[in-house]
């Protein structure tokens, strides 16, 4: 069992997606690191949180009400919404990109000095470069165009692309917002994981002799680092906690 140092003592952190998957693992790790955790999820779950908001991030009105209801002076906001594999691409985009962006942009001006917004990215993929136009379009996406967007870009016919697109778009959002709120506003950072729930592929687990849940715990520990003062010099930065998957893909591509 990984023992978390008290890196977040006295800090107040909100986690979108706190009731399941990586968000739940981060809520547990942040609580163990001394933080007061505010949970947010479409599924009810009170584990490792001091306060909980039950909302679906695909609902614009709910997101706006949540942004107004969250307390001033948050030290951290983690955008780790869980979405089901059975979700249609347009719904997944609403839950994974549009809702989180809207929440972050609504609460950022009221966060504490030195605060951070942590997004979740997807592991490096050799195909990413060919989808840059799609990634840029996803960054500009508004809720009312989600279904048309998914149809126009062929996501309905290629649903396996949607989780990658969500990760790539949120990584790009973190880079874009590295200084969006001025010198005293929140910084941004992106945690890259091997899968949406932070677990490692079976091949990596077998090679390293670890359980899939260990990869999730390691990703959660990396999130705690990004939320802590130790990472205060990082903004617009990406931290890969994917078991070396991104490094393996990139070195193979570049012949290193």
Tens digits of residue pLDDT in 20-34:
999 999 999 999 999
**pLDDT band per the 50, 70, 90 thresholds, residue 85:** low
Tens digits of residue pLDDT in 226-238:
999 999 999 999 9
* Residue 125 clears pLDDT 90, i.e. is over it: no
Q: What are the extents of the domains in the chain?
A: 12-254
* Residue 221 clears pLDDT 60, i.e. is over it: yes
* Residue 137 clears pLDDT 90, i.e. is over it: yes
**pLDDT band per the 50, 70, 90 thresholds, residue 207:** confident
* Residue 133 clears pLDDT 70, i.e. is over it: yes
* Residue 14 clears pLDDT 70, i.e. is over it: yes
Q: For residues 106 and 66, give the distance between their C-alpha atoms in angstroms, rounded to a whole number.
A: 9
| Residue predicted with more confidence, 70 or 245 | 70
What sign does the CA torsion over 147, 155, 131, 247 have?
Answer: positive
Q: For residues 36 and 75, give the distance between their C-alpha atoms in angstroms, rounded to a whole number.
A: 10
Q: For residues 103 and 90, give the distance between their C-alpha atoms in angstroms, rounded to a whole number.
A: 18
Closest CA to 241 of 166, 180, 189: 189
* Residue 159 clears pLDDT 80, i.e. is over it: no
Beta bridge partners of 41: 54
Q: For residues 175 and 104, give the distance between their C-alpha atoms in angstroms, rounded to a whole number.
A: 14
Specify the DSSP element, H or E, that contains 239: strand 237-240
0.85 exceeded by pTM? yes
Closest CA to 47 of 23, 76, 13: 23
Distance between alpha carbon 16 and the CA centroid of its chain, in Å? 8
Q: Residue 131: helix, strand or coil by DSSP? A: helix
| Residue predicted with more confidence, 110 or 210 | 110
Closest CA to 16 of 97, 125, 110, 113: 97
Q: What local confidence, expressed as pLDDT, does residue 2 receive?
A: 62
CATH number of 12-254: 3.40.50.720
Q: What share of the chain has pLDDT > 70, as a percent?
A: 97
Q: Rounded to 5 degrees, what angle do the CA atoms 51, 27, 46 make?
A: 40
């Amino acid at each position: 069992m990984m023992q978390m140092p008290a890196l977040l003592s006295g800090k107040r952190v909100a986690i979108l997606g706190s009731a399941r998957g990586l968000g739940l693992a981060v809520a547990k790790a942040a609580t163990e690191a001394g933080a007061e955790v505010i949970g947010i999820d479409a599924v009810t779950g009170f584990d490792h949180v001091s306060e909980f908001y039950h909302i679906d991030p695909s609902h614009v009105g709910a997101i706006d009400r949540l942004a107004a209801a969250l307390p001033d002076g948050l030290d951290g906001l983690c955008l780790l919404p869980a979405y089901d594999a059975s979700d249609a691409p347009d719904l997944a985009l609403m839950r994974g990109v549009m809702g989180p962006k809207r929440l972050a942009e609504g609460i950022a001006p009221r966060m504490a000095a030195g605060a951070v917004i942590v997004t979740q990215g997807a592991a490096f993929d050799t195909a990413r470069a060919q989808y840059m136009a799609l990634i840029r379009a996803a960054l500009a996406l508004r809720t009312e165009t989600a279904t048309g967007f998914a149809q126009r870009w062929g996501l309905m016919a290629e649903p396996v692309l949607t989780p990658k697109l969500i990760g790539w778009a949120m990584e790009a959002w973190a880079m874009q917002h590295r200084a969006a709120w001025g010198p005293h506003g929140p910084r941004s950072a992106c945690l890259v994981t091997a899968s949406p729930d932070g677990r490692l592929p079976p091949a990596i687990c077998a090679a390293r002799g670890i359980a899939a849940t260990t990869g999730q715990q390691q990703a959660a520990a990396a999130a705690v680092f990004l939320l802590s003062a130790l990472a205060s010099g990082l903004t617009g930065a990406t931290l890969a906690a994917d078991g070396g998957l991104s490094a393996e893909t990139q070195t193979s591509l570049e012949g290193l």
